[in-house]
Amino acid sequence: KNQVEQSPQSLIILEGKNCTLQCNYTVSPFSNLRWYKQDTGRGPVSLTIMTFSENTKSNGRYTATLDADTKQSSLHITASQLSDSASYICVVSEGNAGNMLTFGGGTRLMVKP
Amino acid sequence: DAGVIQSPRHEVTEMGQEVTLRCKPISGHDYLFWYRQTMMRGLELLIYFNNNVPIDDSGMPEDRFSAKMPNASFSTLKIQPSEPRDSAVYFCASSPGQIYGYTFGSGTRLTVV
């Protein structure tokens, strides 16, 4: 069964600090991996999309890494801001199933002043 | 572009009533998805359309749920009759293709009492 596991489930950090969120998956065949940010009461917003051949991709202060061999990804947030407080969802797409996505449970990040 | 537009934002209804959720995808996006999000189960795919045709409805919980896409700019998700366990946030998303990011709407928070 395809699964996406995220850790930690929740995280509290101080403003200005860095943090790293983890995502492990068992989806096969792999097509791509996406990180989404979901603010409370809003729909998820795409941060990055990485295919099999991409090891790292940045979007401002967000940097995602992908190790397709170990089936792990991470999302690193640099110099956190209060507005980074949200849920971060890792989503993996199956290669042969068109738009079949498997969603992780998300990491709820709270940035405190 | 106004993004994916969903209505209503909030819906409170009594058990047994019919509920219709609406979605307007981004113009030019060939794929439309309906997701349900709960604390317990996270984001779940209910059904998706490609060029207005339902492709995979295996996520639709039961016959009480139905979805239509009469044209490229409009889709509905109907629940009849509604039950308290249907209470969740329902998201519509659209995408131009398999390898592209999805754009989610703001969601409809459904409460069935």
Cβ(A72)–Cβ(A23) under 8 Å?
A: yes
pLDDT at B99: 67
pLDDT in tens, A45-99: 999 999 888 999 999 999 999 999 999 999 999 999 999 999 999 999 887 655 6
Nearest-by-CA chain B residue for A49: B101
* β pairing state of A10-14 and A107-112: parallel
pLDDT in tens, B73-105: 999 999 999 999 999 999 999 998 766 778 999
**What tokens were used for A84?**
């980074």
Rounded to whole angstroms, how far apart are CA atoms B78 and A20?
Answer: 40
For chain B, list residues whose CB is within 8 angstroms of any CB belonging to chain A. Answer: 4, 31, 33, 42-45, 48, 50, 55-56, 91, 93, 95, 98-107
User: Smallest CA–CA separation between B15 and chain A, in Å?
Assistant: 24
Which residues, other chains included, contact A49 with Cβ-Cβ below 8 Å and sequence gap of 6+? A32, A33, A34, A57, B99, B100, B101
* β pairing state of A30-38 and A86-94: antiparallel
**What tokens were used for A99?**
């738009």
Beta bridge partners of A5: A24
Q: Given an 8 Å threshold on Cβ–Cβ distance, is B107 in contact with A42?
A: yes
Rounded to whole angstroms, how far apart are CA atoms A80 and A14?
Answer: 8
